[in-house]
Amino acid sequence: MNSSHLAFRLRLLDGLLVSPWMLPLILWLVFFWQLGGSPLYDLDEGAFTEATREMLASGNFITPHKNGQPRYDKPVMIYWLQAGSVALLGLNEFALRLPSAIAASLWLLALWLFVRQRLDTETATAAALVMALSLEIGLIGKAAVADAVLNLFIALAFFDVYRYRLARLADSPRARGLLWRVYLWLGLGFLTKGPVAVFFPLVVSLLYALTMGWREVKIWLGAVFEPRGWLVFLAVAAPWYLAIYLDNGLGFFQSFFLKHNLGRFGGVIHGHEGFPGYYLAMLPLVILPFSGWLLAVLPALRRIWVDPFDRFLLLWFLTVLLVFSFSSTKLPHYLVYGLTPLFILLARYRERLRNRWLALLPAVVLVLVLLALPLVLGPLAEQANRLHEIALFELGREVLDGFYVLGILSALALLIGLFLAHRVALWQRVVLAGVIQTLVVYGLLVPRVFEVMQAPVKEAALLARQLDAPTVVYHTSMPSFSVYRQAITPDRDPEPGDLVFLRIDKLERLRELYPPEQLETLYQRGAVALVRVGERPTATEVPDHG
């Protein structure tokens, strides 16, 4: 290839990566490609979607239920959105995940519009690409849980908080409408996940005002103590909170606000405990492959603090990081509430990314780890002590086949090519590494992980539905079983004639209730089994010894 042709192709690639027309393709790739291709995962997707299924089945659109019991973990918004999607498209993985994919797309579009308004189109496109291709964003944008919807409303609130600030400083008549919009987003966020949607916009905007001077503190006080704003908030959020109080009394309020909000901060919920530096350790993982890019931008912190817009973004990120670092319950997706401003800062300071090893090594390390997976599953199976873990590792060795290895090796070759593509801007090469990462994660890894973890649950549930017999769950928490069975499945000791869904390490416990000859294994794969409990033999029955 002569130099003129190469230069033309490089200019074409450069123009494509900074073009807003690239975003629809990336949106489809990250949030919609393979959206319905894998079974629902437990616990989270299973719990949310079973509550949605029961909402549609019962016609009770006020109180979410999971397996017949009130589910007070989250407010109602995500269930309404999923219920609407299922009503239109049927009960399937695509329909259940579609609200999250749409919310993530709107979140990205809102970011692009905000950054283009404040900075320029190229920076807006770079920020949107970094956001979409970050590992954790893709995961929550494809998951049938509340997080993508919540982050959409949090981001919209923050963007309009900053727009309102500028409008007030300029004495613009637009300020009032922007303030009403802030309260609208807060109300919708409160309907999605409660106080967290209000806490961070209020606290960050206060801290920012305090650093900017008394005039901005007065603007903040006027906005926060604006009665009409709170009327907008109440008009959006209060009707459902009142309805669930009338339906259940104080049950939701005690469980959600005390246990699932204050309880998560002061104590450990569901064993999700972490060390003090947990989120600093998780940050490079959740933003893969852009971890090295972040390290390149860190020396610019003083410059970032001086710029009013950058300071707002930095305070947003740091407040989320610090607040959750002091929380007793720690989960990686909590950090996402503060990642939107980080993506903007990475895009704005992309010229500081100069070291190709720092830029591209995180993606290479991830691919090498994935390449090593088939090699380590055997030793892990040998060292595992629990029956279901051994079964998972063994099934994992089966599904991580030659096609998987070939795909990972191809990705590694492409990443090496990016190391050598000196004429392409380094930040654009990292974006291309993000595209490769997305293809690997959702084309090779996730389908195989879900084949091991969740496909057996789905298959057992479909068999139980076909057999149409009384079915129970036995000391096993996998609510997606009820989604696929399309029926409430109580968790109790089985009776003769029941089908029993359980994790295989619970089989020994089941045999303490019934002798082996009374138990018929109808299905067993991976970590789960479906067993039928037969009738007890009568005293007159004589075993046939042939």
Distance between CA 145 and CA 51 in Å, rounded? 11
Taking only the tens place, the pLDDT of each residue in 32-50 is 999 999 999 998 999 999 9
User: Lowest-confidence range among 346-360, 383-397, 479-493, 517-531?
Assistant: 383-397
Query: Residues 4-43: pLDDT tens digits?
Result: 554 555 556 666 677 778 899 999 999 999 999 999 999 8
Domain boundary among 397, 417, 444: 444
Domain end residue (candidates: 315, 343, 371) = 343
Residue 30 lies in a domain: yes
110 shares its domain with 204: yes
pLDDT at 538 over 80: no
Q: Please report whether residue 404 resides in a domain.
A: yes
The pLDDT mean for the chain works out to: 92
With cut-offs at 50, 70 and 90, classify the pLDDT of residue 251. confident
Separation CA 89–CA 100 (nearest Å): 15
Domain end residue (candidates: 413, 444, 475): 444
| Residues 481 and 440 both lie in one domain | no
What pLDDT, on the 0 to 100 scale, is given for residue 221? 97
Q: Is residue 463 part of a domain?
A: yes
- Domain contains 545: no
Predicted confidence band of residue 480 (pLDDT cuts 50, 70, 90)? very high
Are both 62 and 143 inside the same structural domain? Answer: yes
Integer Cα distance of 245 and 242 in angstroms? 5
Host domain of residue 428: 356-444
Does residue 109 share a domain with residue 246?
Answer: yes
In a domain, 271, yes or no: no
Same domain, 398 and 469: no
Give residues with Cβ within 8 angstroms of 501, minimum separation 6. 460, 461, 464, 471, 472, 473, 474, 476, 478, 481, 489, 528, 529, 530
pLDDT in tens, 458-470: 999 999 999 999 9
The verdict on residue 200 lying in a domain is yes
Pair (339, 381) in one structural domain: no
Question: What pLDDT sits at residue 259?
Answer: 77
State pLDDT tens for residues 373-424.
999 998 998 888 899 999 999 999 999 999 999 999 999 999 999 999 888 8
Under 8 Å between Cβ of 401 and 377: no
Q: Is the pLDDT of residue 439 over 70?
A: yes
> Residue 544's Cα: distance from chain center in Å?
56
Confidence at residue 254, expressed as pLDDT on a 0 to 100 scale:
87
pLDDT at 544: 52
> Is residue 175 in a domain?
yes
Contacts of 68 (CB under 8 A, 6+ apart): 54, 488, 490
Average pLDDT over residues 245-265: 81
Tokens of 368: 């090498």
- 502 and 526: one domain? yes
What's the token pair of residue 148? 């993508």
Same-domain status, 191 and 242: yes
DSSP-derived secondary structure for 59-102: ---SS-EETTEE--SS-SHHHHHHHHHHHHH-SSHHHHHHHHHH
Tokens matching residue 234: 């109440």
The pLDDT assigned to 160 comes to: 98
Task: Note whether 330 and 240 are same-domain residues.
Answer: yes
* pLDDT at 540 exceeding the cut of 70: no
Residue 306 sits in the same domain as residue 176 = yes
Report residue 245 as tokens: 């109080």
* pLDDT interval class at 334 (50, 70, 90): very high
Same domain, 323 and 420: no
| 75 inside domain | yes
Rounded to two decimals, the pTM is: 0.93
Same domain, 433 and 335: no
Q: How many CB atoms lie within 10 A of CB 528?
A: 25
Q: How many domains, in total, are found in the chain?
A: 3
